[in-house]
Amino acid sequence: MSIGPTFARATQAHSFTASQSYKYHFAIYYLAYGLNSLSWASLSIANTMWVTEAFPQWAAPAVVVVGGRLANNQAIKPV
């Protein structure tokens, strides 16, 4: 399930490193950034789906643990 995002992240790392080292066109930076964003979003969704399926009785706390600061900021808003 997480082979695609992992491959996207590896491709992003190599393309960003190559664009830095060999001074490639700036579009390669944008491609690397897009692959990084795709990888992060895909892995976040995959991890959230896994943890809610594996631990349904602790779904809300598990999502906070997996999501980290982002999920915590969305769940708890100071008044």
The pLDDT, as a whole number, for residue 1 is 56
Residues 6+ apart with CB under 8 A from 38: 5, 8
Interior CA angle at 4 toward 71 and 45, to 5°?
A: 20
Rounded CA separation 44/66 (Å): 8
The pLDDT, as a whole number, for residue 79 is 53
The pLDDT, as a whole number, for residue 71 is 52
Whole-number average pLDDT of the chain: 81
The pLDDT, as a whole number, for residue 62 is 80
Quote the domain boundaries for residue 68: 3-75
DSSP letter (8 states) at residue 68: T
DSSP letter (8 states) at residue 57: G
The pLDDT, as a whole number, for residue 46 is 85
Intervals of the chain under pLDDT 70: 1, 68-79
Residue whose tokens read 């915590």: 72
Count the domains in the chain.
1
